[in-house]
Amino acid sequence: MGFTLPERGVVLGVASLVLKEGATVDAALAVVRAAVGAGVLAIDTARAYATVDDDAAGERIAQAARAQRPGIPIITKAGHFRVARAAWDVDGSAERVRADALRSREVLGAPPSLLLLHRADRVDDLDASVHELATLREEGVVEAIGLSNASIELLDRARAITTIDAVENRYAFGLDPADEYRYCRGAGIPFLAYAPFGGPKAEPLATRVPRVAALAMSRGDSVHRSALAAMLDAMPGAWPVIGSTRVESVLDSIGAADLAVDDSLRQAFADDLASRGVGL
Ligand SMILES: NC(=O)c1ccc[n+]([C@@H]2O[C@H](COP(=O)([O-])OP(=O)(O)OC[C@H]3O[C@@H](n4cnc5c(N)ncnc54)[C@H](OP(=O)(O)O)[C@@H]3O)[C@@H](O)[C@H]2O)c1
Q: What is the pLDDT of residue 274?
A: 98
Q: What is the pLDDT of residue 107?
A: 97
> Distance between CA 80 and CA 88 in Å, rounded?
7
Which residue out of 11, 14, 16, 225 has the highest number of ligand 1 atoms within 8 Å of its CB and is therefore the one to mutate?
A: 16
Q: pLDDT at residue 165 above 90? A: yes
Distance 212 CA to ligand 1 centre (A): 19
Atom of ligand 1 nearest to the CA of 15: 45
CA dihedral 147, 151, 155, 158 (to 10 degrees): -70
Averaged pLDDT, 219-242: 98
Tell me which residue of 16, 12, 8, 11 sits closest to 199, measured CA to CA. Answer: 16
Which residue out of 80, 242, 245 has the highest number of ligand 1 atoms within 8 Å of its CB and is therefore the one to mutate?
A: 242
- Determine the 3-state secondary structure of 60 from DSSP: helix
DSSP H helical ranges for the chain: 15-19, 25-37, 57-68, 94-108, 126-139, 152-159, 179-187, 205-208, 210-219, 223-234, 247-254, 263-275
Atom of ligand 1 nearest to the CA of 14: 45
199 lines ligand 1 (CB under 6 A): yes
**Per-residue CA distances from 60 to 5, 18, 70, 195 (Å):** 22, 10, 14, 21
Residue nearest to atom 48 of ligand 1 (CA): 194
168 lines ligand 1 (CB under 6 A): yes
> Distance between CA 158 and CA 128 in Å, rounded?
10
Q: What is the pLDDT of residues 71-130, one digit of tens each?
A: 999 999 999 999 999 999 999 999 999 999 999 999 999 999 999 999 999 999 999 999
Averaged pLDDT, 259-267: 98
Q: Are 236 and 185 in contact (CB under 8 A)?
A: yes
Q: Grade residue 15 by pLDDT with cuts at 50, 70 and 90.
A: very high
CATH superfamily of 11-201+238-245: NADP-dependent oxidoreductase domain (3.20.20.100)
- Determine the 3-state secondary structure of 258 from DSSP: helix
Atom of ligand 1 nearest to the CA of 242: 19
Averaged pLDDT, 246-268: 98
The domains of the chain are located at: 11-201+238-245
Predicted TM-score (pTM) of the model is 0.98
Q: Grade residue 266 by pLDDT with cuts at 50, 70 and 90.
A: very high
Amino acid at residue number 229: A
Tell me which residue of 18, 88, 103 sits closest to 58, measured CA to CA. Answer: 18
> Distance between CA 224 and CA 5 in Å, rounded?
22
Residue nearest to atom 34 of ligand 1 (CA): 249
Q: What is the pLDDT of residue 39?
A: 98
Q: pLDDT at residue 1 above 90? A: no
> Distance between CA 227 and CA 211 in Å, rounded?
10
> Distance between CA 212 and CA 138 in Å, rounded?
45
Averaged pLDDT, 52-77: 97
Residue nearest to atom 30 of ligand 1 (CA): 249
**Per-residue CA distances from 11 to 169, 214, 261, 269 (Å):** 13, 26, 19, 21
